[in-house]
A and B are shown apart, each in its own frame.
Chain A
Amino acid sequence: MKVMKEAIAGTLESSDLLVKVAPSDKGAREIVIQSEVIKQFGKQIKRVVAETLDKLSVSEGSIVIEDKGALDCVIRARVQAAVLRGAGSEETDWGTLS
């Protein structure tokens, strides 16, 4: 999947995260994470985000995350929602979302 336009998903509320995706101007994939719990969970958040993007075959794009202490399942969902919105995609292959 390719991020064709800027998009966001999620909220700033507790237990949620705000995900912003944008097309990459360098043909690379860049993940930036800000979190209140970056020290304890930064690596895990990054892993979940990267896995989610891999499953959607997103190899390029800028992904900026403002995390408010979200569970893995919420991180997955919001990243998926932002990517689908950024790709302008209606189709959902549930295999790539699992």
Chain B
Amino acid sequence: MKLRRSMLFVPGSNAGALSTAFIYKPDSIMFDLEDAVAQSEKDSARLMVFQALRHPAYQEIETVVRVNELNTQFGLKDLEAAVGGGADIVRLPKTENADEIHDLEARVARIEKACGRAVGDTKLMAAIESASGVVNAVAIATASKRMIAIAIAGFDYLVDMHTRRSNGSEPELFYARAAVLHAARAAHIDAFDVVYGNIDDDEGFLREVAIAKGLGFDGKSLIHPKQVELLHRAYAPTKEEVDHANRVLAAAEAAHRKGLGVVSLDGKMVDPPVIEEAEMVLQRAQSS
């Protein structure tokens, strides 16, 4: 089970960031060819990302490429660079409906065949950045077997909703977060929370992380390397949680040895989802 707590955004045009992002050991690195890159630099950034994807340092870390929307003059070339360069995942921005995922999948398959990559090897994720995206979240999340995650992108979404961040209890994001989460759970894929833009406010960042974690988000999109460790620590299980997880897994192990079909702990039945969760807790504990 792949841990996806931290997805660190790296602007494709920023050589310094490209050269050092792997040092911070995020769970995933997202090379951005879209909003972080000026139009006049799209060609150069695309080559930067293509070459970085092939660099030894990025072979051990999960790589994501955020391509430009496919109906722009950049999108298809970005896709060729991403898939041909060996990115693990392609992130489609501003996903509005399931058809866009079908279309993306078909194009990716063609490129995989053309460049000799195993068809199906490249995974997909969708970013929800609008009301339509939110409303179609379940269809989007289940649109393809390649889908492994769905993210909510707060800034554009709120513009579409005619409002903005309130920096308080954030009711303006509640429905979108809930919708994306439910879609993720229904599709058995990961859910990513919004970017926290104020890199000088660690406390505010951690407050938001607590909210997201409490809601059940698997991870968060990050825009600064220092947020990686803050996030991992926040997602680290407590000692009690780790102890409990160990006991759950021990019980499962014992039941398996005894050939029992049902696992129980402290007189209560332990379902498979609980066992999965225990495994995730231990994984988070090991990685922090």
Contact = CB atoms under 8 A, between A and B. Distances in A.
Contacts of A32: none
A62 interface: no
Interface stretch (A21-29, A36-44, A74-82): A74-82
Give chain A's interface residue range (CB within 8 Å of chain B): 20 to 34
B184 to A, nearest CB: 33
B190 to A, nearest CB: 28
Contact of A77 (B16, B48, B80, B115): B48
B19 A15 contact: yes
A37 to B, nearest CB: 14
Interface stretch (B50-58, B142-150, B200-208): B50-58
B20 interface: yes
Interface string B48-71: 101110110000000000000000
B15 A85 contact: no
Interface string B1-44: 00000000000000110111000000000000000000000011
Interface in A42-98: 70-74, 76-78, 80-81, 84-85, 92, 94, 97-98
A77 B51 contact: yes
A9 B51 CA distance: 15
Contact of A74 (B15, B81, B115): B15
A85 B47 CA distance: 12
B54 A73 contact: yes
Nearest to B48: A77
Given A9-B44, A13-B15, A16-B16, A94 B80 contact: yes
B54 A94 contact: no
A98 B43 contact: no
Nearest to A76: B51
A74 B80 CA distance: 19
B84 interface: yes
A93 B141 CA distance: 33
A40 B115 CA distance: 36
B226 interface: no
Leading 5 A-B pairs by shortest Cβ distance: A16-B15, A73-B51, A81-B44, A77-B47, A15-B16
Interface of A: 9-11, 13-17, 70-74, 76-78, 80-81, 84-85, 92, 94, 97-98
